[in-house]
Amino acid sequence: MAVMYPLPSAFVQWAGKFVDPSIAFAVGWAYWFNYCITIANELQAANTIISFWTTAMPIAAWITIWWVVIVLVNIGAVTIFGEIEVVASTIKFGWIFVVIISMIVMSAGGADYSAVGFRYWNQQPFTNGFKGFLSVMPTCIFAMAGSENSGLVAAETANPKKSVPRAVGSIWIRLSLFYLLGSLMVTINVSPFNEDLFGGEGTNASPFVIAYRDAGIPALAHMMNAIILLSVISTGTISGYGGSRTTMGLAYLNMAPKQMKRADKTGRPWWGLVPTFILGGGLAYINVTESGKDVFGWFSSLTSLFTLFGWGMICMSHIRFRWAWAAQGRAPEDLPWRSWIYPYGAWYGLIMCIVLIIVSFYLAVWPLGAPTTAEGFFANYISLIVVVICYLGARIYYRGPWWVDLKSIDLDAGRRFYKADDPEKHVGGAKGAAKKVVGAIFS
């Protein structure tokens, strides 16, 4: 869909085009708030990372410093934003190989302690049983959120048919290196009962940092902490980018103030950037009076539910788009690029999103290691309630059928047409930067 319809705010407009305007309204505003929460969460995470080195400065001071950094990156020209993200992603991608190789050596006995191997797996693979396994889902979803942003920047690339599939096709590298192998390295080097793990009683830190420190390699511990700091700030900058573009797409659908359509000559949508950073930065200061562990947990849960709703609607939009394409007598071969796992991938994604939303409800009602309370439920499930309220309010306003009629969809409106021999040329300026951001998102 990003290749076929590279539209501002992407999945928001796809939902309105192929599913229902009310769904588009709910997806758009939920995702905008999701980006704001992510900015707040990354600012809070940056403070936790800094505390590994020093606690001399007040929390509010660090939040302000990194908030200003994120704002400055976004208000610079789009070309500057693209270059910064490419540099950050290159550093992160290169460092993960250092992590994997060094931690294999450490686990095999090349550290200050004896060989560990899979000792922690054999002792207690599921620390809190199946419920404990389910309880980490919000954090996992939060970590995976962001890959869908390629749809947002597709509208600003010169040739989405070349840029987007190339970037999306490399996501398996991100999954295998950053998540699967990265998690494996942690589990063979760090005990799940280590008191310094995030939320523990010691110095809250990343498990990667703890592994290097306990192995007697402080230089790598400090370098790892610096890379993580770079990563969270990078995520915060991309969230500012995504939030401002989401409001622009909503404005094009007449679901946001018309001023949000505007962008200056360098591509900065000020009417979307300013409220995104005000709300995102403002929420971060909650951490001044609450513990970082609690704030991270709340924000991760809120972000995870918004993300699941967004992912589910992307899958639904894809299914409806292909149904409409067939209903109007068009052949799949006419599409400029096709997902090779359709329809199984789209249906699997939609069903899993629904299942995980139900799991989140279960954990909100019966949390792990805590009593059931109304406060706990709303703190962890309020985001879905917000989505439902947005959807029902939009239904009352827009009325009409529950689904867009497949045969009445204008499949050529907003469509990008490609020549068969359309080469990818060197692109400069804002479009060249956007192309770089597409790749950077997947790194």
Phi-psi region of 65 (alpha: psi -120 to 50; beta: other; left: phi over 0): alpha
More confident residue, 436 or 319: 319
Task: Give the per-residue pLDDT at 58.
Answer: 86
In tens, the pLDDT along 197-221 reads: 765 544 556 888 888 888 888 898 8
Query: Does the pTM of the predicted model rise above 0.75?
Result: yes
Q: What is the mean pLDDT of the chain?
A: 82
Out of 194-198, 221-225, 350-354, the most confident range is: 350-354
Most confidently predicted of 66-70, 240-244, 246-250: 66-70
Q: Which of 117-121, 264-268, 277-281 has the highest mean pLDDT?
A: 277-281
Most confidently modeled range among 139-148, 268-277, 413-422: 268-277
Tell the residue number behind the tokens 């192309």, with chain if given.
Answer: 435
CB 137 within 8 Å of CB 362? no
Residues 35-68: tens digit of each pLDDT: 888 898 888 888 878 888 888 888 888 889 999 9
Q: Report which of residues 394 and 293 the model is more confident about.
A: 394
Higher pLDDT, 390 or 9: 390
Residue closest to 234 by CA, chosen among 359, 410, 90: 90
pLDDT of 440 reads 47
Residue 423 banded pLDDT, cuts 50, 70, 90: low
Q: Which residue did the predictor score with more confidence, 439 or 182?
A: 182
Task: Look at residues 103, 313, 292, 61 and name the one whose alpha carbon lies nearest to residue 188.
Answer: 103
Q: Per the structure block, which two tokens stand in for 135? A: 């309880």
Q: 323: pLDDT confidence band, cut at 50, 70 and 90? A: very high
Residue 442 pLDDT grade (very low, low, confident, very high; cuts 50, 70, 90): very low
Indicate the helix (H) or strand (E) that contains 437: helix 429-441
| Report for 32-36, 283-287, 311-315: range of highest mean pLDDT | 311-315
Q: What secondary structure does DSSP assign to 252-278, as a single string? A: HTTSS-GGGG---TTS--HHHHHHHHH
Contacts of 194 (CB under 8 A, 6+ apart): 200, 202, 207, 210, 214
The pLDDT score that the predictor gives to residue 338 is 87
Residue 150 CA to residue 388 CA, distance in Å, equals 26
The residues, ordered by sequence, that sit 6+ positions from 4 with a Cβ below 8 Å of its Cβ are 321, 335, 336, 337, 415, 416
Answer yes or no: is pLDDT of 330 > 90.
yes
pLDDT at 378: 80
Between 7 and 99, residue with greater pLDDT = 99
Query: 11-417 is classed in which CATH architecture?
Result: Up-down Bundle (1.20)
Distance CA 295, CA 172 (A): 31
Is the pLDDT confidence value at 105 over 70? yes
Residue whose C-alpha is closest to residue 253's, from 75, 15, 76: 15
Domain positions in the chain are 11-417
pLDDT higher than threshold 90 for residue 319: yes
Count helices and strands in the chain by DSSP H and E runs: 18, 0
pLDDT at 325 over 90: yes
Mean pLDDT comparison of 129-138, 206-215, 274-283, 313-322, highest-scoring range: 313-322
Calpha distance 225→233 (Å, rounded): 12
pLDDT in the model for residue 370: 80
Q: pLDDT over 90 for what percent of the chain?
A: 17
Q: For helices 292-327 and 137-144, what crossing angle results, to 10°? A: 60
Between these two residues, 351 and 263, which has the higher pLDDT value? 351
Residue scoring higher pLDDT (423 or 281):
281
